[in-house]
Amino acid sequence: MSAALIVVALTLVAIGGATVVFTTDPARQAVTLSVFGLLLTLLFFVLQAPDVALSQLVVGAALVPLMVMLTVRKINQRSR
């Protein structure tokens, strides 16, 4: 892959990571975390690591945000 594509992917990952960090609402943070996981998957694919990209897709873009959303929902139910 070309170096320009790697730079673009790294830039997107950096912007995505900053977006996750600066998001204050936990529900929105879970969504941005999922998008960040997708950006990392793209980066790993560009770096020719399809096995790591697949693992990141399952864990980082699907399971972790789902667990965060379920936890936020449970906390909101208890606070009512």
Q: Under the phi-then-psi rule, with left for phi > 0, alpha for psi from -120 to 50, and beta for the rest, what region is 54?
A: alpha
Question: What is the mean pLDDT of the segment spanning 66-79?
Answer: 90
Instruction: Give the residue extent of every domain in the chain.
Output: 3-78
Alpha carbon distance 59, 34 (integer Å): 10
Sequence-ordered list of residues with C-beta below 8 angstroms from that of 16, at least 6 positions apart, any chain: 32, 35, 36, 39
pTM of the model: 0.87
DSSP character for 47? T
pLDDT digits (tens, 9 = 90+) for 55-67: 999 998 889 989 9
| Residue 63 CA, distance from chain mean position | 10
Q: Residue 10's pLDDT is what? A: 97
Write down the residue that tokens 């900053």 correspond to.
18
Average predicted confidence (pLDDT) for the chain: 92
pLDDT band at 18 (very low <50, low <70, confident <90, very high): very high
pLDDT band at 79 (very low <50, low <70, confident <90, very high): confident
